[in-house]
Amino acid sequence: MTARVVQKFGGSSVADAEKLRKVARKVQARRAQGCELVVVVSAMGDTTDELLGLARQLSADPPRRELDMLLSCGERISMALLSMALQELGVPAVSFTGSQSGIITDESHAQARIVEVKPTRIVEALGQGKVVIVAGYQGVSRSKEVTTLGRGGSDTSAVALAAALGADCEIYSDVDGVFSADPRVVPEARKRESLSFEEMQELASAGAKVLNAQAVEFAREAGITIHALSTHVAGTGTRIEALAAGLGVKGVTAEKELWVLEVREGLAEVLAFLDERAVKPRALLGSPGAHLVLVPLHDVHGPEALSAALTERFRGALAVRHALGTVTCVGTGLNASFTVLRGALEDAAALGAPVAGHSLTSLQLTLVVPREHLGALTQRLHRRFVG
C-alpha cells in the first residue's frame, strides 16, 4: 500500500501568497516521492487574532456558536488558496473543510473535542490521485453545527486525521522542532531529538505553543509519533513518541496568558462555577491560606465578563490575580529528590521574584511568580538545569 502522510503547516508558514507558493512546492516535492498526502493548514498569519478582535469590537462576550462560524473561515481561506497554488503547479488537489473531512466533534463551541473521524471523502480523493488540503482547527458536531477546537487546534486536526488514515504525522512551523526553551526567549536553547508524549504534553500545557497539548494527548492515545519539523530548513526536527525518557529537566517554559484565582474558601463551588462556563483550569496549587486555580486565557472569549461574574459571586472568598504567570520545568523524575525545587526557589529568590505558589510532580515543577520576572527566571532556570 502507498504510504500516507499528513503534513500540517501553521499560520506563519502560510502567512502570504509567496509563503503559500513555497508550501505548495514543498508539498509537490513530497508527493513526487510517491506517497498519498493530506495537508492540514492553519489560518494565514494573525488571521484568527484579527477575527477575534473584530468579534470583540461587537461583543464583550461573543456567542460561541457565531464565534465558530467566524473563526472557522480563517482556515478555509488557507485551504482554498493552497489548493489553487498546487493546481497551478500541475498537482491535482482538492480542499475540504473540517466538516467535509468527516471530523466529528462534541457540541462544545470554541473548544470542541474530536469524538470521531470519518474520512470517506478524503480517502476517495486520495484514491483519485489528489492531494487533499484540509482546513485545520475545525469540525462539525452531530447536530451539524460548525465547531472549532481551541487555539492551536490545527495540530489536533492533523493528529486525528493521521490516526484515522493510518498515516505518518508531520507538523511544520517556523522552528526546527521542540527546543529546551522558546528560542525567542532563550537564544541558546537546544533542540531536542525526541521527547516523550508525557513531557511534550506538560510543555504544551505550560505554555510552549510549538505543539498543542490536546494534539499530543491524541497522539499518545493513538500511539502516533509526531514529527515536529521546520517549514524553512531541512533539519531532523523532534520526534514526540512513547519512549522511555531519560531522567532530568528537558525544557523550561513560561505562561503569561493566565489568571491565578486565589480561593480562600468554597473551592468546590468555584470549580463548579468554572465548569458551568466551560472554563478549563490547567492546575490547582496549594499556597498558605488559599488554593490557587490556574486558568489559561487563550480559550476564554469573554474575560472581563468572567472576571466580573467571579468577583460578584465569590466576593471576599476569592481574588482574581491578573499580574501573575508561571515558569515550568518539564522532564522526568523531577520529584525524585528536591534538588530541582530547591534550585528553582533559590533562582527565584536571587531575582527578587516572590513565589506565590508552586507544584511539583514527577513530570513538572511550576512556580507562580509576577509576570515581569517570567523571562529572566526562564533564562536562569534554563542555565541551571539545561546548561
Residues that bind ligand ASP (CB under 6 A): 10-11, 42-43, 48, 74, 136-137, 151-155
Rounded Cα distance, 41 and 135, in Å = 6
Residue 153 touches which of ligand ASP, Mg ion, ligand ADP, none (CB < 5 to 8 A by kind)?
ligand ASP
- Of 175, 245, 290, 365, which lies in the binding site for ligand ADP, with binding defined by CB under 6 A? 175
Please choose, from the candidates 61, 60, 141, 144, the residue with its C-alpha nearest in 3D space to the C-alpha of residue 108.
141
Strands 146-148 and 168-173 come out as: unpaired
Region of 17-25, 144-152, 177-185, 354-362 interacting with Mg ion (CB under 5 A) = 144-152
Interaction of residue 299 with ligand ADP, rule CB under 6 A: no
Residue 44 touches which of Mg ion, ligand ADP, ligand ASP, none (CB < 5 to 8 A by kind)?
none
Cell numbers that stand for 138 in this block:
475545525
Rounded Cα distance, 285 and 366, in Å = 9
Rounded Cα distance, 200 and 41, in Å = 22
Interaction of residue 208 with ligand ADP, rule CB under 6 A: yes
What minimum distance in Å lies between the beta carbon of 10 and ligand ASP?
Answer: 6
Residue 184 touches which of ligand ASP, Mg ion, ligand ADP, none (CB < 5 to 8 A by kind)?
ligand ADP
Residue 137 touches which of Mg ion, ligand ASP, ligand ADP, none (CB < 5 to 8 A by kind)?
ligand ASP
Region of 32-40, 84-92, 145-153, 377-385 interacting with Mg ion (CB under 5 A) = 145-153
Interaction of residue 105 with ligand ADP, rule CB under 6 A: no
Contacts within 8 Å (CB) and 24+ apart, 304-308: 304/60, 304/61, 305/60, 305/61, 306/277, 306/279, 307/259
Interaction of residue 226 with ligand ADP, rule CB under 6 A: no
Quick one: which H or E segment has residue 97?
none
Residue 198 is which amino acid? E
Around Cβ 268, how many Cβ atoms within 10 Å?
8
Cell numbers that stand for 182 in this block:
522558546
Rounded Cα distance, 19 and 12, in Å = 9
Footprint on residues 176-205 left by ligand ADP (CB under 6 A)? 178-179, 181-182, 184
Interaction of residue 47 with ligand ADP, rule CB under 6 A: no
Interaction of residue 139 with Mg ion, rule CB under 5 A: no
Contact letters (x/-) for Mg ion, 4-43, by CB under 5 A?
------x---------------------------------
Cell numbers that stand for 259 in this block:
489568571
What residues pair up with 361 in beta bridges, in sequence order? none
**Interface positions with ligand ADP (CB under 6 A):** 10-13, 42, 152, 173-175, 178-179, 181-182, 184, 208-210, 251, 253
